[in-house]
């Protein structure tokens, strides 16, 4: 299966691991990730204001490129996914907004939200299937106590993101199980780490990040997995006692691909 | 602008129906920025409804919201307070010279691991 793959800006720089391991693992699972020749940063956060057009155009161009290639679009960073998916939802469901965007872009064919957008986790669950994935595992994560850290952007707003039950998700836990690890459930797994507020109020980000890390540690987690570079940064910067890794790194490790990644 | 004009402008930008609120406070109980906010999500809803926009525009509360959408997810009436916070913040930073964050502020924020995601997100929220 061939899909359009959008890495986003941070995966080209500080979060190279998230990208490299996603690519290696997809290849091993028979999925071809095709990165568009040109793309722009998604902007990091979706603006809910319905009079904002310009800040959403990079996502629309990306969605349109996938539609023109006749492919689904796959993202891996939580923030990119949130922005692209919310933009696609607005293009499909808010005709006045879609009309304004299409007039602005002035291209021949209008775009109205046709592209199917998957987060990489959804690709694993819905296209590969966790059962099949479990069969492809070469080095199971046996005995590792792992907590899923969803944060906010992967799941919310639930009616738009549609990935999972936003208040009681299981997709990352199911991935951990498929890879042979032991799941640790803790209360704050879908609370916000502070996100971009660490630029404006580091104390607030620290407080939130510490509450999450301490909650996970006291539930017995030895490792936290995330899909978001900013979650990883905020938790680590604020001294999480539990190490934080990208889900793609765990995936590559279990598939026996880790040694030769990043070379 | 009069209070009524400010209210209509916020309602236009956010597309929120504030009259659906039943004042249960669940949005505020869900808010991870609660301690740092002068006005809380349920107050944004009632103050917008009353045309009381100016105090919101002048409050740092609009820069403390994390856009985590917890208040939207957990509101039993589908009111979406986060969209009001966003609309008030945009009304504030869209004014000429009112950028909360400037390029000069960036160097002292950086460490060796700062992801680009943090900077682009912060600029989108705090500047125009
Ligand atoms: S979106 Fe903002 S106001 Fe709503 S719960 Fe999150 S931090 Fe609080
Ligand atoms: S949760 Fe919804 S109904 Fe309850 S106070 Fe907040 S906005 Fe109003």
The predicted-structure confidence for B67-107, as pLDDT tens digits, reads as follows 999 999 999 999 999 999 999 999 999 998 899 999 998 88
pLDDT, residue A215, reads 98
- Are residues B117 and B68 part of one domain? no
Task: Sort strands A244-246 and A223-226 into parallel, antiparallel or unpaired.
Answer: parallel
pLDDT at A163 (0 to 100): 97
pLDDT of res. A260 = 57
Same fold: A2-120 with A129-262: no
User: Do residue B64 and residue B127 come from a single domain?
Assistant: no
Does B52 contact chain A (CB < 8 Å)? no
In the block, residue with structure tokens 């939580």: A78
- Same domain for B74 and B11: yes
β pairing state of A117-119 and A145-148: unpaired
Subunit contact B68:A192, Cβ cutoff 8 A: yes
**Structure confidence at residue A10 (pLDDT):** 93
List per-block mean pLDDT (blocks of 10 residues) for chain A, which spans 263 residues: 95 93 97 96 94 95 96 98 98 96 92 98 98 98 98 97 97 98 98 95 96 98 98 96 97 90 46
How far is ligand 2, taken at its centre, from the CA of residue A95, in Å? Answer: 28
Q: What is the pLDDT of residues A228-243, one digit of tens each?
A: 999 999 999 999 999 9
> Same structural domain for residues B7 and B37?
yes
Three state DSSP letters for chain B: CCHHHHHHHHHHHHCCCHHHCCCCCHHHHHCCCHHHCCCCHHHHHHHHHCCCCHHHHCCCHHHHCCCCCHHHHHCCCCCCHHHHHHHHHHHHHCCCCCCCCCHHHCHHHCCCCCCHHHHHHHHHHHCC
A157:B118 CB<8 A: no
In chain B, what percentage of residues exceed pLDDT 90? Answer: 91
**Same domain, residue pair B18 and B57:** yes
Residue nearest to atom 6 of ligand 2 (CA): B27
- Domain A129-262 in this protein, CATH class: alpha beta
pLDDT at A238: 97
pLDDT at A261: 45
B119 and A CB contact within 8 Å = yes
Please give the residue range of the domain that contains residue B27.
Answer: 3-95
pLDDT band at B108 (very low <50, low <70, confident <90, very high): confident
Let me know whether B106 and B91 are in one domain: no
CA neighbor of A94 nearest in space, from A112, A114, A72: A112
| Structure confidence by residue, pLDDT tens digits, B15-45 | 999 999 999 999 999 999 999 999 999 999 9
Q: What is the pLDDT of residue A259?
A: 75
Could you tell me if A10 lies within 8 Å of chain B, comparing CB atoms?
yes
Q: Of A225, A251, A20, which Cα lies nearest the Cα of A138?
A: A251
Q: Which structure tokens are listed for A180?
A: 């042979």
Query: How far apart, in Å, are the Cα atoms of A224 and each of A7, A87, A140, A151, A181?
Result: 22, 29, 17, 11, 12
Total number of domains constituting chain B: 2
- What pLDDT, on the 0 to 100 scale, is given for residue A108? 85
Interface residue A246 vs chain B (CB under 8 A): no
pLDDT over 70, % of chain A: 98
Mean pLDDT of chain B: 96
Regarding whether B106 and B71 lie in a shared domain, the answer is no
Break chain A into its structural domains and give their ranges.
Answer: 2-120, 129-262
Nearest to B63 among A155, A200, A230 (CB): A200
The residue whose C-alpha atom lies closest to atom 6 belonging to ligand 1 is B68
Which of B72, B110, B116, B117 is the best mutation test for A, with the most CBs of A within 10 A?
B117
Whether residue B100 is preceded by a cis peptide bond, meaning omega within 30 degrees of 0, is: no
* Domain shared by B48 and B8, yes or no: yes
User: Do B110 and B88 have their domain in common?
Assistant: no
Q: Has domain A2-120 been given CATH number 3.40.30.10?
A: no
Q: Do residue B127 and residue B106 come from a single domain?
A: yes
Residues B83 and B118 reside in one and the same domain: no
Q: Could you tell me if B34 and B69 lie in one domain?
A: yes
């Amino acid at each position: 299966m061939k899909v359009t793959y959008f890495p986003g800006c941070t995966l080209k720089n500080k979060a190279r691991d998230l990208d490299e391991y996603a690519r290696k693992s997809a290849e091993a699972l028979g999925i071809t990730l095709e990165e568009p020749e040109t793309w722009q940063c998604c902007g990091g956060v979706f603006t809910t204001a319905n009079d904002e057009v310009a800040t959403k155009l990079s996502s629309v161009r990306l969605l349109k490129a996938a539609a023109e290639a006749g492919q689904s679009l796959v993202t891996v960073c939580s923030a990119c996914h949130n922005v692209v998916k919310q933009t696609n939802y607005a293009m499909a469901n808010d005709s006045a907004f879609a009309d304004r965007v299409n007039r602005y872009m002035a291209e021949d064919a209008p775009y109205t939200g046709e592209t199917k957008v998957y987060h990489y986790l959804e690709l694993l669950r819905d296209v590969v299937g966790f059962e099949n994935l479990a069969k492809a595992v070469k080095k199971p994560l046996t005995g590792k106590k792992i907590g899923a850290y969803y944060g906010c952007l992967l799941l919310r707003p639930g009616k738009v993101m549609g990935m999972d039950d936003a208040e009681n998700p299981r997709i990352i836990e199911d991935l951990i199980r498929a890879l042979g690890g032991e799941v640790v459930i803790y209360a704050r797994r879908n609370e916000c780490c502070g996100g971009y507020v660490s630029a404006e109020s580091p104390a607030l980000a620290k407080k939130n990040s510490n509450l999450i890390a301490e909650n996970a540690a006291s539930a017995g987690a030895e490792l936290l997995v995330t899909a978001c570079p900013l979650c990883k940064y905020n938790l680590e910067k604020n001294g999480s006692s539990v190490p934080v890794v990208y889900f793609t790194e765990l995936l590559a490790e279990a598939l026996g691909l880790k040694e030769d990644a990043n070379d | 602008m009069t209070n009524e004009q400010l209210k209509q402008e916020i309602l236009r930008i956010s597309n929120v129906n504030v009259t659906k609120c039943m004042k249960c406070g669940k949005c505020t109980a869900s808010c991870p920025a609660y301690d740092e906010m002068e006005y809380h999500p349920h107050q944004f809803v009632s103050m917008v409804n009353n045309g009381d926009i100016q105090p919101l525009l002048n409050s740092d509360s609009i820069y403390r919201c994390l856009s985590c959408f917890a208040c939207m997810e957990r509101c039993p009436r589908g009111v979406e307070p986060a969209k009001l916070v966003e609309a008030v913040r945009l009304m504030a930073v869209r004014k000429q010279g009112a950028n909360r964050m400037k390029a000069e502020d960036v160097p002292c924020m950086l460490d060796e691991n700062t992801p680009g995601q943090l900077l682009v997100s912060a600029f989108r929220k705090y500047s125009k």
